[in-house]
Structure 1
Amino acid sequence: MPAPFTCIAVLPPGLEQLGAAELAELGAEAVQPLRRAVAFRCDLACFYRLHLRALLPFRILRQLGRFPCDSPQDLYAGVQAAADWNHWLPPQRSFRVEVSGTAPGLTHSHFTALQVKNALVDLQRQHWGERSSIDLEAPDLCLHLHLGRASGGARGQRAGNEAVLSLDGSSGSLHRRGWRAAMGLAPLKENLAAGLIRATGWDGHVPLADPLCGSGTLLIEAACAALGRTPARTLALQRWADFNAELWERESAAAAGLARQELADGSPVAPIVGMERDPGVLEQARANAEAAGVAPWLELQGGDCRDFVPPETPGVIVCNPPYGERLGAGEDLEPLYADLGAMVKQRCSGWTLWLLSGNPELTGALRMKASRRLPVSNGGIDCRWLKYEIH
């Protein structure tokens, strides 16, 4: 059994603290939030568990090696010495290289990836007389190289550059849950939606409503978390040289065993209500909820948010209204925000509203004062997850 190893979870910007808490809950140790990532240590069982159950990361990377890198020559030599490649990459296994960051002489990701590939196939030819093939779609091994400034260094001296070479356990983004065949025009990524719901503190005991639910991502991710529904994932780590099938089956069974019909304490899930005025998008939301296995707990209605009537018991309202970047124009959207603000003030006293804003001018039309602002990025757009207490 491999000893604990160093990992990095890549996260949506703004969700670092929430992601660190989720990883720690699932057994990760020495958890340290970084920029758009969380560093931690874990053993193989925990590594499998995170891939099966963590909802916030894009990727979870297992570090193979870290070395100084101030030139293409440093990279070539460092890659060859970074791991036991006879173990990890015999020639019958395919691989792919992904690159982030830069270093001197390594400013173009394609060139940098080529240097990594050449280092590995040259080593293979020397040892085996043959080499692995490159598979960009479903490789046996997905290698991730990050270049950047080394941390530390003696006082008064600038730290040099370093390379971190890792294995990507998923070979694809973990935000894909396997349930979303259909989506609206500007879909919210599932892991960002899960993080936004986590930030609200909603746990299923009070009603949850989205009067602008679109294809249902916020409500579906909330229901999945409350009901222990874990994503359906086929992962690259199942093809790794040290894959432990027995351990994987144990963690898979434990993850599958979390699914339930009620909350963890045995109480029923409070109402989860969504409204969408576009009939086609509403059908997408219903299809997505069915595919995610949570349709029985979601009440999805057709209609305009201005006509929304919430459940009687106060709870949490979440919404991701259009903010003019992709859908609609500012002059058309201001009345929508004004009417949304009027509706919640009139009908939702005692509720808490969380709204994803990518346009401060539009949220000003709500005529409400936010009590909390969480900076996040949605598809590259600088946004705020805003909390409003409705009196």
Structure 2
Amino acid sequence: MPSPPVEHLFIVAAPGLEPALEAEVKGLGGTPHRWEGGVALEGPAGLHQEANLRLRTASRVLLRLGSFRAPDGGALTRGLAALPLGRVWTGAGMPRLFVTSHRSRVPAGAVLGAAARAWGLPGLARAGALEEDEAGGLTLLARLEGEVCTVSVDTSGGLLYRRGYRQEVGRAPLRETLAAGLLLLAGYDGGEPLVDPMCGSGTFLIEGAWLSMRRAPGLERRFAFEDFPGFEPSAWAALRARVQAEALAAPRAPLSGFDLNAGALGTARRNARRAGVALTLERQDVRTLVAPGGAPGLVVANPPYGKRVGEGGELPDLYRALGATLKRAFGGWRVALLVPDEAVLIRALGLPGARSLPVRNGGLPCRCLLSPL
């Protein structure tokens, strides 16, 4: 009796979010293996669909098509020709192939040429790393590690931070995957109050609400695998319906956002409406803010920083005010802050003993500060 098919996935995460992604992936079953840049996972056929649908911190889900030794051009062409490309490509259109290399003597251009010959194409576009926001058509990735070539297909399409609800952004948009990752790194499970004293367009709060509602982040978007040959719309519809049925009608705990900018609050309200969540949003200055009544929970914030919004020399004062409010009004709460990797601003917060985790936001080195108050 033949063994059931097994998928080999590499699930990509933004730098610093690998631990949060690994914890999420464990919920899909199997044994994840964390690497720099993501998590590897093996599982049954169709696992890539559930991963795209459920994972909050993943950037892309890559499905491995094959791995082979390629010591020379001939072996490279033969290995590429043997890949089961028919599983993911109808033969229409022109695939894009992105090539990365580590300790390999084979140039990226040679891989493109070998792939064109192997797959009977007049040529292939692109060499180099897959750009973050690149989407459209079949996207393949070849990684050369010494003499070993591994080829994968992007099953996601557009990056997975694109949930569908955020059609408007503030001056300094925070990606949904990073927001969800910081909440998970802070141990937020949706069962306690969540407050964002500088909520902007509401990304932290909406991601927190969906986490609290156990709502899968991929329910409102389309994925690249829906164009693969053999894709079964009825099976996919059944999976989506099952996952959607797991969601609660409302968050399990209150979520409150504050901001001094009335325009940002308007954006947050409209984003929340599109996401189908109810938030408490008020115009308040962080300097005079008081904690909502009831049990303590988690305070989360992405305060502005100069490279991001051009606040300049007023930033240390703002950070001191934020730190003072946290200590004055939120005793007994926990705090998770996304801040720039700048010692002067971190010191201004006055949170000694905070755990500091390196992450990146829009390519900028940042820190996730986690601390009890």
Show the counterpart of 1:142.
139
Show the counterpart of 2:213.
227
Show the counterpart of 2:17.
15
Tell me which amino acid in the other structure corresponds to 2:40.
Answer: A
Contact 1:98 1:113 in 2 (8 A): no
Q: What SS does the aligned partner of 1:306 have?
A: coil
Show the counterpart of 2:38.
37
Q: What are the Cα deviations for residues 151-204 of structure 1, in whole angstroms up to 9, with x where unaligned?
A: xxxxxxxxx342210111112211110111111122111111111111122223
Q: What SS does the aligned partner of 2:306 have?
A: coil
Show the counterpart of 1:188.
174
Contact 1:79 1:120 in 2 (8 A): yes
Q: What SS does the aligned partner of 1:375 have?
A: strand
Contact 2:336 2:370 in 1 (8 A): yes
Contact 2:116 2:124 in 1 (8 A): no
Show the counterpart of 2:187.
201
Q: What are the Cα deviations for residues 57-112 of structure 1, in whole angstroms up to 9, with x where unaligned?
A: 1111110111234555554332122x13455444335422233345545555xx36
Go from structure 1 to structure 2 and tell me whether the alpha carbon gap of 1:89 and 1:47 turns closer, same or farther (over 3 Å shift): closer
* Structure 1 range deviating more: 207-216 or 249-258: 249-258
Contact 1:10 1:59 in 2 (8 A): yes
Alpha-carbon RMSD: 2.5
Q: How many pairs align?
A: 360
* Structure 1 range deviating more: 214-223 or 61-70: 61-70
* Structure 1 range deviating more: 233-242 or 176-185: 233-242
Go from structure 1 to structure 2 and tell me whether the alpha carbon gap of 1:75 and 1:280 turns closer, same or farther (over 3 Å shift): farther
The answer as to 2:361 corresponding to 1:378 is: yes
Structure 2: gaps of 5 or more residues:
127-133
Go from structure 1 to structure 2 and tell me whether the alpha carbon gap of 1:23 and 1:137 turns closer, same or farther (over 3 Å shift): closer
Go from structure 1 to structure 2 and tell me whether the alpha carbon gap of 1:346 and 1:22 turns closer, same or farther (over 3 Å shift): same
The answer as to 2:289 corresponding to 1:308 is: yes
Contact 2:90 2:228 in 1 (8 A): no
1 CA distance for matches of 2:110 and 2:267? 41
Tell me which amino acid in the other structure corresponds to 1:144.
Answer: L
Go from structure 1 to structure 2 and tell me whether the alpha carbon gap of 1:2 and 1:320 turns closer, same or farther (over 3 Å shift): same
Go from structure 1 to structure 2 and tell me whether the alpha carbon gap of 1:73 and 1:282 turns closer, same or farther (over 3 Å shift): farther
Contact 2:202 2:272 in 1 (8 A): yes
Contact 2:191 2:212 in 1 (8 A): no
Specify which of 329, 339, 343 is matched with residue 321 of structure 2: 339
- 1:374 Cα shift? 1.9
Go from structure 1 to structure 2 and tell me whether the alpha carbon gap of 1:118 and 1:54 turns closer, same or farther (over 3 Å shift): same
Go from structure 1 to structure 2 and tell me whether the alpha carbon gap of 1:283 and 1:72 turns closer, same or farther (over 3 Å shift): farther
Go from structure 1 to structure 2 and tell me whether the alpha carbon gap of 1:246 and 1:380 turns closer, same or farther (over 3 Å shift): same
The answer as to 2:270 corresponding to 1:277 is: no
Contact 2:112 2:124 in 1 (8 A): no
TM-score (norm 1): 0.84
1 CA distance for matches of 2:111 and 2:174? 30
Tell me which amino acid in the other structure corresponds to 1:119.
Answer: R
Go from structure 1 to structure 2 and tell me whether the alpha carbon gap of 1:78 and 1:133 turns closer, same or farther (over 3 Å shift): closer
Q: What SS does the aligned partner of 2:31 have?
A: strand
Q: What SS does the aligned partner of 2:257 have?
A: strand
2 CA distance for matches of 1:220 and 1:116? 46
The answer as to 2:351 corresponding to 1:351 is: no
Q: What are the Cα deviations for residues 20-68 of structure 1, in whole angstroms up to 9, with x where unaligned?
A: 11111022x1310000110110112432211111111111111011123
Q: What are the Cα deviations for residues 191-244 of structure 1, in whole angstroms up to 9, with x where unaligned?
A: 111111111222233211011111111111110111122231211111212323
The answer as to 2:244 corresponding to 1:256 is: yes
Specify which of 289, 295, 308 is matched with residue 326 of structure 1: 308
- 1:308 Cα shift? 1.6
Show the counterpart of 1:91.
91
Structure 1: gaps of 5 or more residues:
125-130, 149-159, 264-268
2 CA distance for matches of 1:87 and 1:347? 57
Q: What are the Cα deviations for residues 248-304 of structure 1, in whole angstroms up to 9, with x where unaligned?
A: 2221111211222245xxxxx22211111122222111111111111x2x1111232
Contact 1:71 1:105 in 2 (8 A): no
Go from structure 1 to structure 2 and tell me whether the alpha carbon gap of 1:290 and 1:367 turns closer, same or farther (over 3 Å shift): same
Contact 1:56 1:194 in 2 (8 A): yes
Specify which of 266, 270, 275 is matched with residue 287 of structure 1: 270
Show the counterpart of 2:161.
175
Q: What SS does the aligned partner of 1:326 have?
A: helix
Q: What SS does the aligned partner of 2:62 have?
A: strand
Contact 2:33 2:39 in 1 (8 A): yes
Q: What SS does the aligned partner of 1:365 have?
A: helix
Specify which of 203, 228, 233 is matched with residue 245 of structure 1: 233
Contact 2:31 2:41 in 1 (8 A): yes
2 CA distance for matches of 1:322 and 1:112? 45
2 CA distance for matches of 1:112 and 1:332? 52
- 1:326 Cα shift? 1.6
1 CA distance for matches of 2:124 and 2:255? 49
Determine what percentage of the aligned residue pairs are the same residue. 34
